[in-house]
Structure 1
Amino acid sequence: MTHSFLMIGQSNMAGRGFLKDVPSIHDEKIKMLRNGRWQMMAEPINFDRSTSGISLAATFASSWRLFHNQEDDIALIPCADGGTSLEDWSVEGPLFQNAVSQAKAAQKISNLSGILWHQGESDSYGQKHQLYKEKLSLIIETLRKELNAPDIPLIIGGLGDFLRDGIYGQYFNEYNEVNAALIQFAEDHDHTYFVSAEGLTANPDNIHFDAISQRKFGIRYFRAFEQKNHILGRLPDEDQIIEMINNRPLTKNEKHELLQFQLAMGAIEVEEFQSQLAKLA
């Protein structure tokens, strides 16, 4: 069975963590939706911009793999788009309609098991937080209705405490109010769970979570999904779970996929590729 998860929101859901800062994750049982088909996950998963990088999705999926049936696949449906506000996610707009279309396509080939949401930076100024819960309610209620999934779990994450210190800090001066709205939204709605960004750190821009924080955030998202409860702070075993994920031995198929990537990127020569391939035979 394949269990799929819809990823929606803005850039911190799409992921902007630097690829070079963390070990890559390869797992043939983790898929991502491309052109209506499942492909083996490769980061960046949510390629919405040329700046896309590490997101929370890989460790969310890897944590799921650690603690669930090893025979099942987990699959990611990337639909987040950087810099977008709740207005951009209005139910009449192209982002929402695309997310519905992609999720419906996934429902034909998987069990749609959850929705991962991270958004709010673009609504952290100009008193936009006052209508945040109302607008988000319409988006989520319509999404669940369109997907015929009224009880599907929704995991929503908090904004980082570093936002006011960033290069565009003046546009995030109401991020605390948005966080409060997100927490209240989760409290007020069934099957909805809030995940704290406590202690998570940023790229030098102080806008986007850095790669290691995205790895930790994904584990928190998974724990909220697994326990069907809010995660209101750091988890004591985040580092241990990341280590378990990083140290998992690669399968033959995963090694083959990695070799193909290295060859395509010019990291190894054809002779080395053929030599390593022969060792896998």
Structure 2
Amino acid sequence: MIKSFLLIGQSNMAGRGIQNSVPPIINESIKMLRNGRWQIMAEPIHNDRPMAGVGLASSFAASWHADNIGEEIGLITCADGGTSLNDWQAGGELFDHAIFQAKLAQRSSKLSGILWHQGENDSSAELAAKYVDKFNVIVNELRNQLEVPDVPLIIGGIGDFLPHGQFGAHFHDYYLVNNALQEYAASHSNCHFVTAKGLTANEDQIHFDAKSVRKFGLRYYQAFLNAADVTEALTDEDELLEKIYRRELSLNEQKFILEVQFASGKIAFKEFQEQLKLIGK
């Protein structure tokens, strides 16, 4: 059975990394939920905004698959850019949508983890002071409604670059959100914190760039795998990503790439047919 993971939070979970700046991750064992059914993952996996791009879940899933050859992983994409913790309160549209999608996924998968990244919209002293209590209500209600009381929850820190961009004045207290996330992980079972230390941003200085979200996904996976916080960058992040990128593609994956290229107008039908014949040889 597919092992599924619920992806929730705001834009840095949905992903805003520029696609062409990193190699794609194509793996027929990594699925994404669309219309209640599983299909091969293709980035961007979220469609919350027209500017959706590369997110951390792709490298998380690729890392998981490398340790679970022969099994399938499914991504339930429910993050929404620009949202606050209040927007995610139980009974709200985002919460109910995530519950609905996760329950659809549970018909054909085992919900094995929840990945959360959010906090930029709560980067004030006043809001950060309430973060732990508000977040606890959300998490408890998620686990209760999905009937997964012990499902692992992985939560990531927000970027140290936030105060240095055009909108830096809004993020003066960003570190208080990171403190709250770490406090929550330390005081609640089956929850682990992942540092964003050393990760870099797009030019907006709000969103992690594509190379960094790839590394962030590796860190999320290590936290999940070891059931422990990740408080420093992994020493072999570049090497791990190269292994993911160099993975030999199956025939089905090669055909999938050609189909996407043809459907998106990147290659003509004649070239599509010729390339298909070459794959079959």
Task: Name the TM-score class by shorter chain.
Answer: over 0.9
Unpaired runs of at least 5, structure 1: none
Match of 2:110 in 1: 111
In the aligned structure 2, how far is the partner of 1:167 from the partner of 1:62?
Answer: 34
1:88 alignment partner, SS class: helix
Give 1:49 deviation, angstroms.
0.1
Match of 1:40 in 2: 40
Of all paired residues, the percent bearing the same amino acid is: 53
* Cα contact 2:89–2:95 (8 A) shared by 1: yes
In the aligned structure 2, how far is the partner of 1:266 from the partner of 1:272?
Answer: 11
Match of 1:129 in 2: 128
In the aligned structure 2, how far is the partner of 1:166 from the partner of 1:99?
Answer: 31
Letter in 2 for 1:23: P
In the aligned structure 1, how far is the partner of 2:109 from the partner of 2:160?
Answer: 36
Match of 1:64 in 2: 64
Give 1:67 deviation, angstroms.
1.3
Note if 1:190 corresponds to 2:189: yes
Give 1:280 deviation, angstroms.
2.2
In the aligned structure 1, how far is the partner of 2:84 from the partner of 2:125?
Answer: 12
* Cα contact 1:127–1:174 (8 A) shared by 2: no
In the aligned structure 1, how far is the partner of 2:255 from the partner of 2:272?
Answer: 10
* Cα contact 1:193–1:229 (8 A) shared by 2: yes
In the aligned structure 1, how far is the partner of 2:275 from the partner of 2:20?
Answer: 23
Match of 2:22 in 1: 22
Give 1:36 deviation, angstroms.
0.3
In the aligned structure 1, how far is the partner of 2:153 from the partner of 2:166?
Answer: 31
Give 1:270 deviation, angstroms.
1.3
In the aligned structure 2, how far is the partner of 1:81 from the partner of 1:166?
Answer: 22
1:72-221 equivalent positions in 2, closer than 5 A: 72-125=71-124, 127-221=126-220
In the aligned structure 2, how far is the partner of 1:126 from the partner of 1:150?
Answer: 31
Give 1:266 deviation, angstroms.
1.6
Letter in 2 for 1:2: I
Output one character per residue of 1:198-221: Cα deviation in whole Å (capped at 9) or x when no partner.
000000000000000000000000
Please report the TM-score for the alignment, with normalisation by the length of structure 1. 0.99
* Cα contact 2:125–2:176 (8 A) shared by 1: no
Unpaired runs of at least 5, structure 2: none
Letter in 1 for 2:136: S
Match of 1:259 in 2: 258
* Cα contact 2:63–2:218 (8 A) shared by 1: yes
Output one character per residue of 1:14-62: Cα deviation in whole Å (capped at 9) or x when no partner.
0000001100110000000000000100000011000100000000000
In the aligned structure 1, how far is the partner of 2:22 from the partner of 2:91?
Answer: 38
Cα RMSD of the aligned pairs, angstroms, is: 0.7
In the aligned structure 1, how far is the partner of 2:213 from the partner of 2:166?
Answer: 20
Q: Find runs of 4+ consecutive structure 1 residues off by over 4 angstroms.
A: none
In the aligned structure 1, how far is the partner of 2:124 from the partner of 2:177?
Answer: 9
Please report the TM-score for the alignment, with normalisation by the length of structure 2. 0.99
